[in-house]
A and B are shown apart, each in its own frame.
Chain A
């Protein structure tokens, strides 16, 4: 029986029969639909995923008219930080515009956290101003709320990850609520400087990494920034397919935040005033690419149907159906993108 060369979620090559791929697609779709309590993909959509996965050739692509735009959440530093190439970040942004033909870029600090940036924000704003003088494409400033940074011994609040296992639920909640207020202030302080430096947008990346309080801090910061600077769009990137309930009682717009799935996250992100929502859905390394991308596409399709703001799916190492490996296999990346564009109806990546 013929087998197709494909990959597992960890990036390793595997060979699957047509029947095995179809079963994994069906299983991934069913998993996503059951967990988020949404409709599964149709039979035709599942057939299209099969065609995309098994398409001949190393690289596949959508029609040119279906091309989408790209945004980043890497701090504009793949050269100087990850590649150890000695270039300034504002120069790196120019290389991305004039050599790589990128659509946008986010400047950011190596320590990609608003709390860490606040003390040096004046110098970060210099870098933003330099980039804005030279670049034509939109340049955002990006970092993570990273509420875990506010816990002792680095921060002033008790560590809720230690309090919860000890049964100290009320203290854990109080610590998170205190940290949230400080986190919002730090985000707003950075946003003020970036607005003055001419930033095109603020990227709130990996919102909810520390749970529902982290997610709420990001929503409240989004509200304030979008009202204060209506021409500076907020890109709100999530941390996972559902929001962890580290607090459990928090709500936004009357809806409980803990346990929100991508389409529900998108609704409150839109309500808060964000310009772009970036759902993040993690890859299961023990499942095939077919299973992972089918699961992700099911959630994304529901999200783009539910909200009216643009959706830029986080697609990269370990998210968006892409393998959990640093050197991303292009055969998987282009096929994941195709599924998300054709079936998920995304606006960007």
Chain B
């Protein structure tokens, strides 16, 4: 089966010869599949999403490797063609809806932007589609919400608006970057359920970035565990959360408190595990030459 997204040996660094932020990352996501990217802060999970979307911060760039989307290498495409392709087929659900939405514009326009400016729809059709999507994300009064400004609706509602915006153009791939981290647990569950339903209905592939081992266990069939920009474990959730995780993945799971096992001792990631990972990373860096 050919993958919708295949990343091969991706290296991203700060400046030429500067520190590497992603170290030989390879992964693939099939159409309609959900793949989780987990790790602690600074592990590079968001960086992968940014590299795919072509929105790496200034000074940070892809040094080698390929990002194949539907067979085309995004890193080799001319800028305009890449922007067009990404705009049409890849969408992002960001973490913080309040900073992602423009506070001075009504919500409706912010959903239709993409449809009008990238896909060239006319305004009426785009508005109808936006209303339909808000309805799909279980917003009761789509008309009112489209007229509202972001500060006038709740946090959970804003996150749903961004989900609606992401699904609006029927993208083949959605990159969700910690979309539920700021939400209450009950709202988080509603939002995750919603993403799952929409994804199944539209056949969208999902790359789900999170630091929460619980969320990834519930949502993703397969995942990559990152440490210092390196994939240290990759495979089906059934294995990683089951019999045979990498020691670091095992340690992250053991560090997660769970209400159903209060007597089990809560272990921070052991220093020996970190030392082994650091040694691996250092060895990989010695072999790496900036091409």
Q: Do A and B come from one complex?
A: no
* Residues in chain B within 8 A of chain A (CB atoms): none
* Residues in chain A within 8 A of chain B (CB atoms): none
